[in-house]
Structure 1
Amino acid sequence: MTSVSKTKVTTHILDTSLGKPAADVRVWLEKLDGPKITLIAETQTDADGRAAKLTPEPVPSGHYRLCANIGAYFAATNRETLYHSAIIDVVISGEQDHYHLPLLISPYSYSTYRGS
């Protein structure tokens, strides 16, 4: 019997240089299977910097990339940046209920961690 995946992925992007959420950032989730890359979902962060419904449907176990177009975000706020995009490369277990992958950004750095 095959188990049904119940894993959802969310993110919260915070602009640490301004100390506030990063609104209207395009984010997308890709599944990697060898050389094949499949777009799973795409959305924008809300006014609170959240993409809570990035995966409205659960995703199966596998290798994924959560990407954020932070270059456009900084350009929209008239700031230079080193990074065009931020990429979080993760392995997801379908046995977990939820993966929250926060992204902390500034014009010259970004970091992430496993949230709750």
Structure 2
Amino acid sequence: MSTLSTHVLDTNAGVPVVGLRVHLGNAADEALETGSTDDDGRVRFAADLPGGVYVLTFETGPWYGGQGRETFFPVVGIAVEIDPGRPHHHVPLLLSPFAYTTYRGS
């Protein structure tokens, strides 16, 4: 079993993304949990996950829209494979209106 967290940074402004809704789903994209990024741009999901594929879905369109900004990516979906032998997985998202990148964090 393993836990999962994410951290979202606005690379244009150089600050954490606050108040972005993030959904955690299973491989069939059935919702397991929903959270919003905190003042440091982080969400830590409470679920203890068995191994397998999970999907993080970031509601970037509403977040940008709330700031009066446009984006080419109204939703960012990231599928990850959880290794039950690792106690925790972290998925950072570096976000700008017209690009994003991610990696396996620590």
TM range (shorter): over 0.9
Query: After TM superposition, which residue ranges in structure 1, 4 or more long, deviate above 3 angstroms?
Result: none
Q: Which has the larger radius of gyration?
A: 1
- Please give the alpha-carbon distance, in whole angstroms, between the structure 2 residues aligned to 1:91 and 1:105: 21
Number of residue pairs the alignment of both structures matches: 106
Q: Which of residues 88, 94, 103 in structure 2 aligns to 1:104? A: 94
Residue 42 (structure 2) aligns with:
50
- Please give the alpha-carbon distance, in whole angstroms, between the structure 2 residues aligned to 1:101 and 1:72: 21
TM-score, normalized by length of structure 1?
0.87
Residue 87 (structure 1) aligns with:
77
Q: Deviations over 1:4-44 (max 9, x none)?
A: x2x00000000001110000000011101xxx432111110
Shift of 1:57: 2.7
The Cα RMSD (Å) is: 0.9
Residue segments in structure 2 that go unaligned for 5+ positions in a row: none
Bigger fraction of residues in strand: 2
Identity rate, percent: 37
